[in-house]
């Protein structure tokens, strides 16, 4: 039984299985191996089955989007009626209310199976800092699973659940995804509520999603995102904040300069990264070398700066009374916060602001940053011998992302000769989550057979409005810069329905056509280019459109309705009907005018 969301939907729709059958199978699979280290606690089997039967008894004609989908929850996220430990028995409490993300998943029809292991208090990228045992990569038990969302990753990789919730402050959702050949989505800060989540660094924390495919991660993201009054850091995008006009087509991807790449001697990972870069170039990507030292400088602030004091702020009363009950490595990291002062915090904030400003210059050159998810992978023995330094090495490509307010998606990218997986991470500005998932999905499918549906962004890229242009704004025409200056990207060249006429307007500079709908007319259809324009840029674009032209709606030959240049009826007085040319370019060519006039 495959556990992707599409596979389970198909089973349920066909009547070949019910949610209670899937839940029963999950508990059989879980029972075949030791309870720990993957799980800290399980929802009682009968309670999970009761939840499944409740869904089955619902007679609604439309099923919720995650109907009957089993999932796991990192044990620093609250599930009402189950203990939350954060990987520390002495810290355990019993929440009366679900975390907001869990509430939304239950409302969407998902079924919780249990609480998973983690690096204690989500402090670590290794998955070994837990009294409940150390998880391993599903590909080789000698190697670490990655952390801190260790159990959440292994539960999905072993097909014990369809997806899982983790958290990601410094890479805790991306590193275990990479080491277990999964997709790991680190959403934009605040886009998924952190209410009901034990804080690590409250101003940086994110709930992460681990899944087998980008499509599954996208479905879970859609079910859980949104503003939440319970979380003071919750936020939603304003118009245009999530604009990614490059999504689905050509894109520019940044890579660190060659001398800024670091693999700590792992030549296999280095080679796999170069292979991934070459594959992205085959997917309409243009490689751009960027100055990665800016991003590394920001990363250094996370653990070598006063942000570590946030970990103490989250735990101070407990830490003062129970430091001896904590993992010694975790206690050492949290306790080190005492050496930082308020002056240190302000100076670090000033430094971070400067680095953000410097990074903005790099973002002008790229749409997405692509880095290895991890520079290498370590054995349990190696981590035990040098736990802090090697953990720091693992964060070489992850630690800066939340500090610089970016989103990220880790995706599988092949295997070393010894069978251990490698992954790359797609990083973008805040609110670029769906566009990153779409590109990661394209990449993932380019190298292996990925079951299920593709990430569905709809007919237009996120945060954009589809605008059809017919004349002086076409590619290569004199006003096309009004689109490109607003970051618009060409989506496609197509035609209108046959019921449109085209006129060469009189006395316009530069020369312009007018598009007019005539319901009784059957012509050839008029060639148009459809551009994706960021929502927040369309207003200034429309303001520059002179009479008799305006922006209305037009119907394309496939029935799609898009915004489009139209002409006022008065504007065609004295104009020349050029409909038979079927395009502005064809008309210009007939007049022996250069295309750039």
Reading the block at residue 60, the tokens are: 């609604």
Fold (topology level) of 5-231+241-447 = Amidase signature (AS) enzymes (3.90.1300)
**Positions of the chain with pLDDT lower than 50, given as ranges:** 595-597
Reading the block at residue 396, the tokens are: 């070489």
What pLDDT is attached to residue 593?
A: 52
Per-residue pLDDT tens over the stretch 573-590:
999 999 999 999 999 999
Is it true that 5-231+241-447 and 464-590 share their CATH fold?
no
Label residues 69-89 b or e (16+ Cβ within 10 Å = b): bbbbbbbbbbbbebbbbbbbe
What positions carry a catalytic annotation?
Answer: 74, 148, 172
For residues 46 and 11, the answer to whether their CB atoms sit within 8 Å is: no
Strand partners, 256: 290
Instruction: Cite the beta strand spans of 57-182 per DSSP E.
Output: 70-74, 111-116, 136-137, 140-144, 163-167
pTM value? 0.94
Reading the block at residue 88, the tokens are: 């520390």
For residues 124 and 311, the answer to whether their CB atoms sit within 8 Å is: no
Strand partners, 140: 137
What pLDDT is attached to residue 576?
A: 96
Cβ atoms within 10 Å, residue 454:
14
Domain map (residue ranges) of the chain: 5-231+241-447, 464-590
Q: How far apart are CA 420 and CA 545, in angstroms?
A: 57
For residues 72 and 160, the answer to whether their CB atoms sit within 8 Å is: yes
What pLDDT is attached to residue 596?
A: 39
What pLDDT is attached to residue 304?
A: 79
What pLDDT is attached to residue 597?
A: 30
Q: Cα–Cα–Cα angle for 455, 457, 461, nearest 5°?
A: 135
Fold (topology level) of 464-590 = Hypothetical upf0131 protein ytfp (3.10.490)
């Amino acid at each position: 039984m495959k556990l992707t969301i599409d596979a389970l939907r198909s089973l349920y729709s066909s009547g070949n299985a019910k949610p209670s059958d899937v839940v029963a199978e999950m508990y059989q699979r879980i029972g075949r191996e030791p309870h720990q280290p993957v799980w800290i606690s399980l929802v009682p089997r009968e309670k999970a089955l009761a939840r499944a039967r409740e869904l089955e008894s619902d007679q609604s004609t439309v099923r919720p989007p995650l109907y009957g989908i089993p999932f796991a929850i990192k044990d620093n996220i609250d599930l009402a009626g189950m203990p939350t430990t954060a990987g520390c028995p002495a810290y355990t409490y019993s929440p009366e209310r679900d975390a907001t993300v869990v509430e939304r998943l239950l409302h969407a029809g998902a079924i919780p199976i249990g609480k998973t292991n983690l690096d204690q208090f989500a402090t670590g990228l290794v998955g070994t800092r837990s009294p409940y045992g150390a998880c391993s990569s599903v590909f080789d038990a000698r190697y670490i699973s990655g952390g801190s969302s260790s159990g959440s990753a292994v539960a999905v990789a072993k097909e014990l659940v369809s997806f899982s919730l983790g958290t990601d402050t410094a890479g805790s959702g991306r590193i275990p995804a990479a080491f277990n050949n999964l997709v790991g989505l680190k959403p934009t800060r605040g886009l998924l509520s952190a209410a009901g989540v034990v804080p690590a660094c409250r101003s940086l924390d994110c709930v992460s999603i681990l899944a087998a495919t980008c499509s599954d991660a996208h479905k879970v993201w859609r079910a859980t995102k949104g503003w939440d009054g319970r979380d003071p850091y919750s936020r939603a995008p304003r118009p245009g904040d999530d604009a990614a006009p490059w999504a689905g087509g050509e894109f520019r991807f940044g890579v660190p300069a060659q001398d800024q790449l670091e693999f700590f001697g792992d030549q296999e990972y280095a080679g796999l990264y170069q292979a991934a870069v070459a594959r992205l170039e085959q997917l309409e990507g243009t490689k751009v070398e960027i100055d990665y030292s800016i991003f590394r400088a920001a990363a250094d602030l996370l653990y070598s700066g006063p942000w570590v004091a946030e970990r103490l702020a989250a735990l101070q009363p407990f830490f003062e009374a129970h430091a001896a009950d904590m993992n010694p490595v975790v206690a050492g990291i949290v306790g080190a916060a005492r050496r930082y002062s308020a002056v240190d915090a302000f100076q670090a904030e000033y430094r971070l602001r400067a680095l953000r400003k410097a990074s903005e210059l790099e973002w002008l050159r790229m749409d997405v940053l692509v880095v290895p998810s991890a520079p290498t992978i370590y054995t349990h023995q190696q981590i035990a011998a040098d736990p802090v330094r090697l953990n720091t090495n693992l964060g070489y490509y992850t630690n800066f992302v939340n500090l610089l307010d970016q989103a990220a998606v880790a995706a599988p990218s092949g295997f070393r000769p010894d069978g251990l997986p490698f992954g790359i991470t797609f990083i973008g500005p805040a609110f670029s989550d769906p566009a990153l998932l779409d590109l990661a999905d394209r990449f993932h499918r380019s190298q292996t057979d990925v079951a299920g549906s593709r990430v569905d962004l709809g007919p237009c890229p996120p945060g954009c409005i589809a605008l059809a242009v017919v004349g002086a704004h076409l590619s290569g025409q004199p006003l096309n810069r009004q689109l490109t200056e607003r970051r618009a990207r060409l989506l496609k060249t197509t035609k209108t329905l046959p019921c449109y006429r085209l006129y060469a307007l009189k006395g316009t500079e530069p020369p312009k056509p007018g598009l007019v709908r005539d319901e009784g007319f059957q012509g050839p259809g008029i060639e148009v280019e459809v551009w994706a324009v960021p929502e927040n840029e369309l207003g200034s674009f429309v303001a520059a459109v002179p009479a008799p032209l305006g922006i209305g709606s037009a119907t394309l030959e496939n029935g799609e309705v898009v915004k489009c240049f139209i002409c006022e009826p008065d504007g065609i007085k004295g104009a020349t009907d050029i409909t038979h040319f079927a395009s502005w370019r064809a008309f210009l060519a007939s007049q022996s005018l250069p295309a750039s006039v």
